[in-house]
Amino acid sequence: MIDENKYNKTHFGFRLVSKKHKELMVANVFNSVAANYDLMNDLMSFGIHRLWKRLTIQFSCVRRRQKVLNIAGGTGDMTDKFSRLVGENGIVVLADINDSMLKIAREKLRNNGYINNIIYIQANAEVLPFPNDIFDRIIISFGLRNITDKEQALQSMYRVLKPGGCLIILEFSRPLFIPLKKFYDFYSFYILPKIGKLVTNDESSYRYLVESIRMHPDQDTLKAMMLNSGFESAEYFNITGGIVALHRGYKF
Protein backbone atom coordinates (compact mmCIF):
# COMPACT_ATOMS: atom_id res chain seq x y z
CA MET A 1 0.00 0.00 0.00
CA ILE A 2 1.30 3.46 -0.92
CA ASP A 3 1.70 5.79 2.02
CA GLU A 4 0.21 9.00 0.61
CA ASN A 5 1.15 10.95 3.73
CA LYS A 6 4.85 10.76 2.94
CA TYR A 7 4.28 12.59 -0.35
CA ASN A 8 2.66 15.43 1.56
CA LYS A 9 5.68 15.82 3.85
CA THR A 10 8.72 18.03 3.54
CA HIS A 11 11.60 19.13 5.74
CA PHE A 12 11.47 22.06 8.10
CA GLY A 13 15.09 21.92 9.12
CA PHE A 14 15.64 18.33 10.22
CA ARG A 15 11.96 17.79 11.05
CA LEU A 16 9.43 16.26 8.70
CA VAL A 17 6.29 18.38 8.55
CA SER A 18 3.29 18.61 6.26
CA LYS A 19 3.85 20.75 3.19
CA LYS A 20 0.85 22.92 3.98
CA HIS A 21 2.29 23.78 7.41
CA LYS A 22 5.87 24.50 6.34
CA GLU A 23 5.04 27.83 4.70
CA LEU A 24 3.45 29.07 7.93
CA MET A 25 6.35 27.79 10.02
CA VAL A 26 8.91 29.54 7.80
CA ALA A 27 6.81 32.71 7.97
CA ASN A 28 6.89 32.56 11.76
CA VAL A 29 10.69 32.26 11.68
CA PHE A 30 11.11 35.36 9.55
CA ASN A 31 8.48 37.32 11.44
CA SER A 32 10.58 36.63 14.51
CA VAL A 33 13.96 37.60 13.01
CA ALA A 34 12.89 40.47 10.71
CA ALA A 35 13.66 43.32 13.10
CA ASN A 36 17.25 42.16 13.65
CA TYR A 37 17.80 40.50 10.26
CA ASP A 38 20.48 42.84 8.92
CA LEU A 39 22.36 42.98 12.22
CA MET A 40 22.34 39.19 12.57
CA ASN A 41 23.58 38.71 9.00
CA ASP A 42 26.60 40.84 9.85
CA LEU A 43 27.23 39.07 13.14
CA MET A 44 26.74 35.52 11.86
CA SER A 45 28.92 35.92 8.78
CA PHE A 46 31.43 38.39 10.25
CA GLY A 47 30.26 40.74 7.50
CA ILE A 48 31.32 38.38 4.70
CA HIS A 49 27.73 38.18 3.39
CA ARG A 50 28.25 41.67 2.00
CA LEU A 51 31.09 40.38 -0.18
CA TRP A 52 29.00 37.39 -1.32
CA LYS A 53 26.17 39.70 -2.34
CA ARG A 54 28.52 42.15 -4.04
CA LEU A 55 29.92 39.30 -6.15
CA THR A 56 26.38 38.20 -6.99
CA ILE A 57 25.46 41.67 -8.18
CA GLN A 58 28.58 41.85 -10.36
CA PHE A 59 27.90 38.36 -11.66
CA SER A 60 24.33 39.24 -12.66
CA CYS A 61 25.48 41.88 -15.17
CA VAL A 62 22.33 43.92 -14.56
CA ARG A 63 22.19 46.90 -16.93
CA ARG A 64 20.19 50.07 -17.39
CA ARG A 65 16.55 49.78 -18.49
CA GLN A 66 16.30 46.12 -17.52
CA LYS A 67 13.52 44.47 -15.52
CA VAL A 68 14.90 42.63 -12.51
CA LEU A 69 13.06 40.30 -10.15
CA ASN A 70 14.67 39.97 -6.71
CA ILE A 71 12.95 36.96 -5.13
CA ALA A 72 13.15 36.54 -1.35
CA GLY A 73 14.51 40.07 -1.39
CA GLY A 74 14.20 40.38 2.37
CA THR A 75 15.10 43.81 3.70
CA GLY A 76 16.15 45.03 0.27
CA ASP A 77 19.93 45.34 0.49
CA MET A 78 20.43 43.84 -2.98
CA THR A 79 17.31 45.50 -4.40
CA ASP A 80 18.86 48.85 -3.49
CA LYS A 81 21.90 48.09 -5.67
CA PHE A 82 19.82 46.76 -8.57
CA SER A 83 17.66 49.89 -8.45
CA ARG A 84 20.74 52.04 -9.01
CA LEU A 85 21.95 49.81 -11.85
CA VAL A 86 18.71 49.75 -13.89
CA GLY A 87 18.17 53.48 -13.51
CA GLU A 88 15.00 55.54 -13.90
CA ASN A 89 13.82 53.61 -16.96
CA GLY A 90 14.32 50.18 -15.43
CA ILE A 91 12.22 48.26 -12.93
CA VAL A 92 13.17 46.17 -9.92
CA VAL A 93 10.53 43.99 -8.30
CA LEU A 94 11.26 43.04 -4.70
CA ALA A 95 9.21 39.91 -4.05
CA ASP A 96 9.08 38.22 -0.68
CA ILE A 97 6.56 35.86 0.88
CA ASN A 98 6.96 37.52 4.26
CA ASP A 99 5.14 40.77 4.93
CA SER A 100 7.35 41.69 7.91
CA MET A 101 10.43 41.66 5.70
CA LEU A 102 8.70 43.69 2.99
CA LYS A 103 7.68 46.38 5.47
CA ILE A 104 11.27 46.79 6.62
CA ALA A 105 12.48 46.87 3.00
CA ARG A 106 9.96 49.58 2.03
CA GLU A 107 10.97 51.82 4.89
CA LYS A 108 14.70 51.31 4.38
CA LEU A 109 14.68 51.83 0.62
CA ARG A 110 12.39 54.84 0.76
CA ASN A 111 14.78 56.41 3.22
CA ASN A 112 17.51 55.80 0.63
CA GLY A 113 15.47 57.68 -1.98
CA TYR A 114 14.88 54.78 -4.39
CA ILE A 115 11.13 54.49 -4.74
CA ASN A 116 10.27 55.29 -8.37
CA ASN A 117 11.68 52.16 -9.97
CA ILE A 118 11.02 49.61 -7.18
CA ILE A 119 7.83 47.56 -6.88
CA TYR A 120 7.11 45.58 -3.71
CA ILE A 121 5.07 42.40 -4.01
CA GLN A 122 4.23 39.74 -1.44
CA ALA A 123 4.50 36.56 -3.47
CA ASN A 124 5.18 32.85 -3.26
CA ALA A 125 8.07 31.86 -5.54
CA GLU A 126 6.27 28.63 -6.45
CA VAL A 127 3.46 30.57 -8.16
CA LEU A 128 4.92 33.90 -9.24
CA PRO A 129 2.11 36.35 -10.14
CA PHE A 130 3.68 37.69 -13.33
CA PRO A 131 3.16 37.17 -17.09
CA ASN A 132 5.43 34.89 -19.09
CA ASP A 133 8.77 36.17 -20.42
CA ILE A 134 8.91 39.48 -18.58
CA PHE A 135 12.18 39.72 -16.59
CA ASP A 136 15.74 40.13 -17.89
CA ARG A 137 17.27 38.90 -14.64
CA ILE A 138 16.01 36.94 -11.66
CA ILE A 139 18.10 36.88 -8.51
CA ILE A 140 17.34 34.89 -5.36
CA SER A 141 19.75 35.23 -2.48
CA PHE A 142 19.64 32.90 0.54
CA GLY A 143 15.98 32.16 -0.08
CA LEU A 144 15.71 29.00 -2.16
CA ARG A 145 16.35 26.66 0.76
CA ASN A 146 13.25 27.98 2.55
CA ILE A 147 10.91 27.20 -0.34
CA THR A 148 8.75 24.11 0.08
CA ASP A 149 8.74 22.91 -3.54
CA LYS A 150 12.01 24.05 -5.06
CA GLU A 151 11.39 22.36 -8.41
CA GLN A 152 8.08 24.15 -8.82
CA ALA A 153 9.70 27.45 -7.85
CA LEU A 154 12.47 26.99 -10.44
CA GLN A 155 9.86 26.25 -13.12
CA SER A 156 7.95 29.36 -12.09
CA MET A 157 11.11 31.43 -12.37
CA TYR A 158 11.84 29.96 -15.79
CA ARG A 159 8.35 30.88 -16.99
CA VAL A 160 8.62 34.58 -16.11
CA LEU A 161 12.20 34.97 -17.39
CA LYS A 162 12.68 36.44 -20.86
CA PRO A 163 14.45 34.41 -23.53
CA GLY A 164 18.08 35.47 -23.24
CA GLY A 165 17.68 36.23 -19.55
CA CYS A 166 19.37 34.48 -16.66
CA LEU A 167 18.65 33.26 -13.16
CA ILE A 168 21.21 33.82 -10.41
CA ILE A 169 21.00 31.83 -7.17
CA LEU A 170 23.19 32.67 -4.18
CA GLU A 171 22.81 30.06 -1.47
CA PHE A 172 24.62 28.22 1.26
CA SER A 173 26.09 24.96 0.01
CA ARG A 174 28.63 22.23 0.91
CA PRO A 175 32.16 23.13 2.08
CA LEU A 176 34.82 21.51 -0.09
CA PHE A 177 37.47 20.82 2.53
CA ILE A 178 37.12 18.56 5.57
CA PRO A 179 38.85 20.92 8.08
CA LEU A 180 36.65 23.79 6.90
CA LYS A 181 33.54 21.61 7.14
CA LYS A 182 34.37 20.58 10.71
CA PHE A 183 34.88 24.19 11.81
CA TYR A 184 31.76 25.29 9.92
CA ASP A 185 29.63 22.57 11.54
CA PHE A 186 30.88 23.43 15.02
CA TYR A 187 30.26 27.13 14.51
CA SER A 188 26.84 26.58 12.93
CA PHE A 189 25.39 24.17 15.46
CA TYR A 190 26.98 25.38 18.70
CA ILE A 191 27.82 29.06 18.30
CA LEU A 192 25.39 30.59 15.82
CA PRO A 193 22.15 29.69 17.67
CA LYS A 194 23.65 31.12 20.86
CA ILE A 195 24.31 34.40 19.05
CA GLY A 196 20.66 34.35 17.99
CA LYS A 197 19.57 33.82 21.59
CA LEU A 198 21.84 36.58 22.90
CA VAL A 199 20.88 39.21 20.32
CA THR A 200 17.26 38.35 19.54
CA ASN A 201 16.22 36.03 22.37
CA ASP A 202 15.31 33.51 19.68
CA GLU A 203 17.57 30.49 19.54
CA SER A 204 15.11 28.16 17.78
CA SER A 205 14.75 30.28 14.63
CA TYR A 206 18.50 30.33 14.09
CA ARG A 207 18.73 26.61 14.78
CA TYR A 208 16.17 26.12 12.00
CA LEU A 209 18.25 28.29 9.67
CA VAL A 210 21.31 26.13 10.35
CA GLU A 211 19.35 22.93 9.76
CA SER A 212 17.78 24.29 6.56
CA ILE A 213 21.27 24.84 5.15
CA ARG A 214 22.17 21.20 5.79
CA MET A 215 18.99 19.98 4.09
CA HIS A 216 19.49 22.16 1.01
CA PRO A 217 20.70 20.41 -2.19
CA ASP A 218 24.44 20.47 -2.78
CA GLN A 219 26.08 22.23 -5.71
CA ASP A 220 25.69 19.50 -8.34
CA THR A 221 22.16 18.56 -7.26
CA LEU A 222 20.96 22.15 -7.56
CA LYS A 223 22.62 22.45 -10.96
CA ALA A 224 20.75 19.33 -12.11
CA MET A 225 17.48 20.75 -10.76
CA MET A 226 18.00 23.91 -12.80
CA LEU A 227 18.65 21.91 -15.97
CA ASN A 228 15.57 19.79 -15.33
CA SER A 229 13.51 22.98 -14.97
CA GLY A 230 14.50 24.15 -18.46
CA PHE A 231 17.53 26.33 -17.77
CA GLU A 232 20.49 25.89 -20.09
CA SER A 233 24.23 26.31 -19.63
CA ALA A 234 23.73 25.96 -15.87
CA GLU A 235 26.94 26.39 -13.90
CA TYR A 236 28.08 27.19 -10.40
CA PHE A 237 30.98 28.84 -8.65
CA ASN A 238 32.05 28.05 -5.10
CA ILE A 239 32.76 30.94 -2.78
CA THR A 240 34.55 30.80 0.59
CA GLY A 241 35.48 27.16 0.10
CA GLY A 242 31.97 26.11 -0.87
CA ILE A 243 30.23 27.50 2.21
CA VAL A 244 28.18 29.35 -0.37
CA ALA A 245 27.77 28.76 -4.10
CA LEU A 246 26.65 30.99 -6.92
CA HIS A 247 24.54 29.21 -9.55
CA ARG A 248 23.62 30.68 -12.93
CA GLY A 249 21.35 29.39 -15.66
CA TYR A 250 19.93 30.84 -18.87
CA LYS A 251 16.66 30.76 -20.78
CA PHE A 252 17.32 30.62 -24.53
| Structure confidence at residue 1 (pLDDT) | 45
Pairing of strands 161-172, 67-71: unpaired
Residue 183: beta bridge partners? none
Looking at the structure, give the CATH architecture of the domain made up of residues 6-176+208-250.
Answer: 3-Layer(aba) Sandwich (3.40)
With 0-12 CB in 10 A as exposed, 13-18 as middle and 19+ as buried, what is 17?
Answer: middle
Are 91 and 162 contacting, i.e. CB atoms less than 8 angstroms apart? no
Give the C-alpha separation, 204 to 194, whole Å.
10
| Structure confidence at residue 2 (pLDDT) | 43
Question: Considering the entire predicted model, what is its pTM?
Answer: 0.92
Give the C-alpha separation, 227 to 249, whole Å.
8
125 marked ligand binding residue: yes
Q: Give pLDDT tens digits along the chain (252 positions).
A: 444 455 688 888 888 889 878 888 888 888 888 888 888 899 999 999 999 999 999 999 999 999 999 999 999 999 999 999 999 999 999 999 999 999 999 998 988 776 689 999 999 999 999 999 999 999 999 999 999 999 999 999 999 999 999 999 999 999 999 999 999 999 999 999 999 999 888 999 899 999 999 999 999 999 999 999 999 999 999 999 999 999 999 999
75 marked ligand binding residue: yes
111 marked ligand binding residue: no
| Structure confidence at residue 201 (pLDDT) | 87
| Structure confidence at residue 177 (pLDDT) | 95
Give the C-alpha separation, 175 to 19, whole Å.
28
